[in-house]
Amino acid sequence: MSDWWRGAVIYQIYPRSFQDGDGNGIGDLKGITARLPHVADLGADAIWLSPVFPSPMADMGYDVSNYTDIDPVFGTLEDFDAMLARAHELGLKVIIDQVLSHSSDKHPHFEESRKSRTGRYADWYVWADPQHDGTPPNNWMAIFGGGAWQWEPRRHQYYFHNFLASQPDFNFHNPQVQDWLLSVMRFWLERGVDGFRLDTVNFYFHDKLLRNDPADFRRKAKPEWNPYDMQYHLFSKNQPENLHFLERMRALLDEYGDRAMVGEVGDSHHAIELMGEYTSGKRLHMAYSFEFLGPDYSAAHFRGKMAAFHSGAPKGWPCWAFSNHDVVRHATRWARHGADPQALARQAAALLLCMEGSICIYQGEELGQTESDLAFHELTDPQGINFWPENKGRDGCRTPMTWEKDAPNAGFSDSPPWLPVKPEQAGRAVDTQAGVEGSVLEFYRTMLGLRRETPELKTGKTRFFHTREPILAFARGDVLCAFNLSPHPVDLSLSGAGESLLAQAAEISGGTLSLGANGFAILTGGEPTAHGGN
């Protein structure tokens, strides 16, 4: 086995927004197939495909009604096979999203389960009796707002949903449910996929006793915009039974040789610990982290989270990302830390691609793409619709990929797209950057090439230097990576610095590394001799 996933760079494709191949304004598999050379030319090792299965699209495909087919809006199984074949032809592995924690309420199994307390699927979802006053069985909250229990009059019971009421949670305590979900994974493995991205992997099991989640133990100055974050989710997720099911999944993948799983660990309290636990032994190959998807852009934050994982799980393997389809794009999120948007985007790319672990790049990230500013009437995301205006939801990071600045809808589609293409995003189209020295796109190609050609940057161990803000410095093997995470120049004293492999706004003179605004240097050898920074 090659363990191709160790240190791999995985390019996330959000199918609705990558490329429209049939002219209806929605991205699809034929469109993806046509644009795969862009991903291969970028230098990625694999693609991660967000869900393309049949779905009512209440949560844009994360509410699955058929796990072994393709939604007509994206094409057919034949189109999927053609996309898979083309990716492999270009040297790209293919990882597909698996949403196993819950299904759509339109899934035949749930439609049968909700009819009565008897029958084949009666215990396939999480059902509970009401309390004596008719209220839900406990205080668990739903991520998209309100309580996590929905009344079903035909059963005289509530069912549990971590997300929308139209996304009922499977009952993983039922062995039949586990076996069936493993058969779903086998279907796609037989079809030739190279692995899975496991949505909400720590949500599979719930507390059998349905105990109340306690209040968040951290002091809060004011209520969260989402009441879900006012609780510490001790019982509604993160259950120890999860570990055995992860081992069952790993055993399945091991039957097929060189395949891999990356699990999305969504938890605001001890995600790093869970990542370590979930990738220890024969469980997940990688754990996808949320730690760098927030507003913090400081040396202490990056150093602390990376060091905590590597010290807590020395045999585990993380998968780091700065952006995805669920969060504000990092070029917008971290804008105040940059003197120039392009310089910040290049620095973020260099930092991400110097990290120990595997890496996920979200489509458009390689263009320095920013968050789209949408009006309320343009939204489709239930999160934004439910929590507007405090939170505008996830549509702003899901707007179409921009290929040609002056083409209709920036080359995404000849028809009005499902989300609008704004001029600011069109201005960063691929055709405005390809072949342009200094562009964010060309920098990503260069940086990906450096990571691929420098073994230390793919698999070398990390050694951190405790520099003062805003300097982040660490070594990967004998390669030194130093970053000024601010729009103000700083100096760092160095000894033994060798050749510069790649740099921005950086100069070495007399043992001093001068880093300009958002400057960085990737060097062979050398280490700080003083703390540097402010």
Q: Which residue numbers are catalytic?
A: 199, 255
In terms of residues, how long is the chain? 534
Give the tokens for residue 64.
């699955």
- Whole-angstrom Cα distance, residue 475 to residue 453? 17
CB count in 10 Å sphere of residue 407: 16
If we measure between CA atoms, which residue out of 346, 275, 349 comes closest to residue 312?
Answer: 275
Give the residue among 184, 277, 189 at the shortest CA–CA distance from 238.
Answer: 277
Contact between 293 and 323 (Cβ < 8 Å): yes
Residue (of 86, 123, 41) closest to 442 by Cα position? 41
- What is the spatial distance between Cα 146 and Cα 165, in angstroms, rounded to a whole number? 10
**DSSP E strands: which ranges in 368-511?**
462-465, 471-476, 479-484, 490-495, 500-509
d(CA 339, CA 349): 16
- Are 286 and 317 spatial neighbours (Cβ–Cβ below 8 Å)? yes
Q: How many CB atoms lie within 10 A of CB 231?
A: 18
Contact by Cβ (8 Å): 261, 279: no
For residue 480, the number of C-alpha atoms closer than 13 Å in the C-beta half-sphere is 23
